[in-house]
Amino acid sequence: MPLLEPTPRDYRSGFVALIGRPNVGKSTLINQLVGEKVAITSPVAQTTRNRLRAILTTPSAQLVMVDTPGIHKPKHLLGKRLVQSAKSTIGEVDVVLLLLEACYLPGRGDSFIVKLLRQQKIPVLVVLNKSDLVREEDYLQKESAYRELISDDKWPIYRCSAANGEGCSVLIEDLVDYLPVGPKLFPADMVSDQPERVILAELIREQVLIQTREEIPHSVAVTIDRLEEITSDSSRKVKKNCTAILATVLVERKSQKGILIGKGGSMLRTIGQGARLQMQNLIDGPIYLELFVKVVPDWRCKPARLSELGYEVY
């Protein structure tokens, strides 16, 4: 039996929540810190629906990062659930990373979040993200504006780029100081606590958002109906091992179904190809992906339907 590597006595482990307005780069930062794509990102706001835990294991610590949906003013039932989920996350972690955008001056949404965090007695580190998009002199101006916003709080500010990794290693080192001493909470090689099915569905949803842009905004959900490893079998004429994935994309209106399928099925093919490329980073070997589109009117406003799709209130 192999000897288990002993955990150092001063090993640290704990939870880090990423909080911020939609689109500030929370999911991108998680992927950058973990070094693998576990969270979906997109130029369209409000991409993240499920609370995802991504795990970063180093020789001295294990950080479990919780990606939260962006905090914003809820417009419909789904929006309300997303905000509740973000708020309850703050109460369950050791330290919060507050993400702000270095390329903009603070806005009303930012002060809403700062006030919300102030009410909780929890350490906060501020990440001024997207530093790659600003010039040096502009950065200093933006930083002092954000310093003013968080004036009463002793929150340190980090200049970061989730896209190119600038500032990320210092950030990880400093985060570790806020975690309690304790053993690993997850196996060292685990990078996400989401089941494979959820990540696969998210990769499809990401492609829908990227390929259709504003046309199919947030009224889409994806379910994985079948996930099967097919082994080579001469009787079934399958030559190679592959993973077969059958998935359904749910939309609210018939017109959206039309856009998703596209002329002669061209849009759905593009979405499928994009998703398959991303899936290949996750699953070894070839992937057979088949997508269906189904109209379920107003699924976002029906609590039972939301729960069925896995959007639970925690």
Joined together, the tokens standing for residue 178 give: 């806020």
Q: Minimum CB separation from ligand GDP for residue 164, in Å?
A: 7
Q: Using the rule CB under 5 A, is 42 a contact of Mg ion?
A: no
Closest CA to 275 of 16, 10, 37: 37
Residue 65 or 162 with smaller CB distance to ligand GDP: 162
Q: Minimum CB separation from ligand GDP for residue 120, in Å?
A: 20
For ligand GDP, the binding residue among 163, 224, 244, 283 (CB under 6 A) is 163
Residue 26 or 300 with smaller CB distance to Mg ion: 26
Q: Using the rule CB under 6 A, is 48 a contact of ligand GDP?
A: yes
Residue 208 binding partner per list Mg ion, ligand GDP, none, with a CB distance cut-off of 5 to 8 Å that depends on partner kind:
none
Closest CA to 52 of 89, 87, 24: 89
Q: Using the rule CB under 5 A, is 27 a contact of Mg ion?
A: yes
Q: Using the rule CB under 5 A, is 89 a contact of Mg ion?
A: no
Taking CB under 6 A as the binding criterion, the range among 16-24, 88-96, 284-292, 300-308 that sits at the site for ligand GDP is 16-24
Three-class secondary structure assignment of the chain = CCCCCCCCCCCEEEEEEEECCCCCCHHHHHHHHHCCCCCCCCCCCCCCCCCEEEEEECCCEEEEEEECCCCCCCCCHHHHHHHHHHHHHHCCCCEEEEEEECCCCCCHHHHHHHHHHHHCCCCEEEEEECHHHCCHHHHHHHHHHHHHHCCCCCCCEEECCCCCCCCHHHHHHHHHCCCCECCCCCCCCCCECCCHHHHHHHHHHHHHHHHHHHHCCCCCEEEEEEEEEECCEHHHCECCCEEEEEEEEEECCHHHHHHHHCHHHHHHHHHHHHHHHHHHCCCCCCEEEEEEEEECCCHHHCHHHHHHCCCCCC
For Mg ion, the binding residue among 32, 42, 48, 85 (CB under 5 A) is 48
For ligand GDP, the binding residue among 70, 124, 159, 249 (CB under 6 A) is 70
Q: Minimum CB separation from ligand GDP for residue 138, in Å?
A: 14
Q: Using the rule CB under 5 A, is 129 a contact of Mg ion?
A: no
Q: Minimum CB separation from ligand GDP for residue 46, in Å?
A: 7
Residue 48 or 207 with smaller CB distance to ligand GDP: 48
Q: Minimum CB separation from Mg ion for residue 70, in Å?
A: 7
Q: Using the rule CB under 5 A, is 211 a contact of Mg ion?
A: no
Q: Using the rule CB under 6 A, is 207 a contact of ligand GDP?
A: no
Q: Minimum CB separation from ligand GDP for residue 49, in Å?
A: 11
Residue 57 binding partner per list ligand GDP, Mg ion, none, with a CB distance cut-off of 5 to 8 Å that depends on partner kind:
none
Q: Which residues bind ligand GDP (CB under 6 A)?
A: 20, 22-28, 41-43, 47-48, 70, 129-130, 132-133, 161-163
Q: Which residues bind Mg ion (CB under 5 A)?
A: 26-27, 47-48
